[in-house]
Structure 1
């Protein structure tokens, strides 16, 4: 399944991130906790490598905690500061300021010795589309400065946002990269909504989702859709789910488009429980 989505504004965003790095002290990178590897933009990794960086694993309560903890250990071995967050509910955000203070402890001490008592830390907020950046910024700023949407590509322009905790944030639009390294990465991005559904064959995407869930979380599928058993054939599992949900149309056929929309919505909304697609 060939998937690619790199509209012109993303190339512009990449240039803006590079140009604006000199304006900030640190970078806050937001990833989706369900797809820790797939939601890590390799371009951001290269561009921001010389800046102190905090990685937020957002939507952590939609992920598999065992898998997420394994990712945290792996990232921390690379000296990456990791914080689990749910930016929509504000969970974990109280750890941002102490972590930044620790990163800039020596700098603050130097400035304090020079008589500068209040240091405003300027950070750039980066991440792929639909990962929760706008919700994060709104919670940190305690108002609705950034636009929030459940679709990728809502934030388009850079904007500075002040907070009451001594942090200024430069918001940036969500950005992907021109060529995905493998199909699994592309599919994971599509499953979680980082790629617009409008450019996808969502029926095939739902097939691929059921195929992966059958492999990793068969009991969740059976429990959610009241199936007594699963087939090795994902299409048969799709048919069984469609029948259980009453999506049979004339001639006994399944309304696959309606079924695909339902499956993707329920997966993205956490209705199947905590699930991690990147191992």
Structure 2
């Protein structure tokens, strides 16, 4: 199954973001620390590079992610030109208090009342942008919700006499290129439920967690995980938690939601769904598949080429 989700209002959101990019100094891109690259909208990178705008990458929900993996991502991003990266939780005031100070070195020429620092918060839906906005302003000015795409319009607000802030709606991109990205985004609740099948997402998540964090899974559900795959894990959860339909059959949908919610809430422990190494391996495998598919098409067009 390929997961795609691009609600209509996101087209206008992209247009407005492109217009605002001309008038700002620093892009604050909020990512999910558990899947930093999968949760990074390629359109944001395209827009900011076109305008040559530096970027503060905030790996939000760092308290839910594997700290060792997060450290790898921070080093990965800080090696990029014009990028500063930090791991934090937008729910912690002490973490949020660091944000403006981290942006200022990226635009040192904007640092007084005549030239206030102009920042724009960007990111995919449900990643924590509105929570960050409210925490920076120390009041509720942006809607915060459990469902993706709560914010649907831009807001421009004065943060201080020397700093202004633009909050933008969560933006997806028209086509998710890699299936694994779609599943990671769906597992992390960045994609509307109408675009996914929870059981398939839970099966994907189960496979990944069993491969990387089997001890955490075993501890959470009190089951032996050796030899299990994603679907078998969901069945085991259904058995263990007594998830049954009328007539006694296992309620796989309910068990799937239990696994997904436990991951989203951090009940499993601190886990990361991708690392710089696994990301690189995925991209390499995808490129090899594309090359093989292109070669096969060439052979179909010219069956006598090797004769």
TM-aligned CA deviation for residue 235 of structure 1: 2.1
Q: Do 2:210 and 2:229's aligned partners in 1 also have CA atoms closer than 8 Å?
A: no
* Cα deviation code 1:78-128 (max 9, x no counterpart): 1320121211233421221222222233454xxxxxxx6664211111000
**Residue correspondences, number:** 272
Give the Cα–Cα distance (whole angstroms) in 2 for the partners of residues 228 and 120 of structure 1: 57
2:61: which partner in 1? 59
Distance in 2 of aligned mates of 1:103 and 1:10: 28
> Contact conserved, 1:239 with 1:254, CA < 8 A, in 2?
yes
Contact 1:83 1:95 in 2 (8 A): no
Q: How far off is 1:232 after superposition?
A: 3.5
> What TM-score does the superposition give when structure 2 sets the normalisation length?
0.84
In the aligned structure 1, how far is the partner of 2:60 from the partner of 2:72? 15
Please give the residue correspondences for 1:16-31 in structure 2 after superposition, counting only pairs within 5 Å: 16-31=16-31
Relative contact order: is structure 1 or structure 2 higher (C-alpha 8 Å, sep ≥ 6)? 1
Comparing 129-138 with 179-188, greater Cα deviation is found at 179-188
Contact persistence 1:27–1:125 (CA under 8 A): yes
Name the CA distance, whole Å, in 2 between partners of 1:171 and 1:107. 19
**CA 1:89 to 1:198, structure 2 compared with 1: closer, same or farther past 3 Å?**
farther
The CA deviation at 1:165 is 6.8
TM-score by length of 1: 0.92
How do 1:1-279 and structure 2 match up within 5 A? 1-49=1-49, 50-79=52-81, 80-108=83-111, 119-164=115-160, 166-279=162-275
Unaligned runs of 5+ in 1: 109-115
Decide whether the 8 Å contact of 1:129 with 1:176 is kept in 2: yes
Q: What is the CA-CA distance between 1:146 and the residue it aligns to?
A: 0.4
Q: CA RMSD in A?
A: 1.6
DSSP-derived class of the 1:71 partner: helix
C-alpha distance in structure 2 between counterparts of 1:38 and 1:174, whole Å? 15
| Residues 174-183 or 197-206, more deviating | 197-206
Unaligned runs of 5+ in 2: 276-307
Q: Is the 8 A contact 1:222 1:230 kept in 2?
A: no
Partner Cα distance (2:99, 2:69) in 1: 23
SS of 2:93's equivalent?
Answer: coil
Equivalent-residue separation in structure 1 for 2:94 and 2:156 (angstroms): 23
SS of the aligned residue for 1:258 comes to: helix
CA distance in 2, matches of 1:179, 1:191: 18
Deviation of residue 239 (structure 1)?
Answer: 1.4
Match of 2:303 in 1: none
Distance in 2 (CA, whole Å) between partners of 1:68 and 1:130 is 19
Secondary structure of the 1:265 match is helix
> Structure 1 residue runs of 4+, over 6 Å off?
none
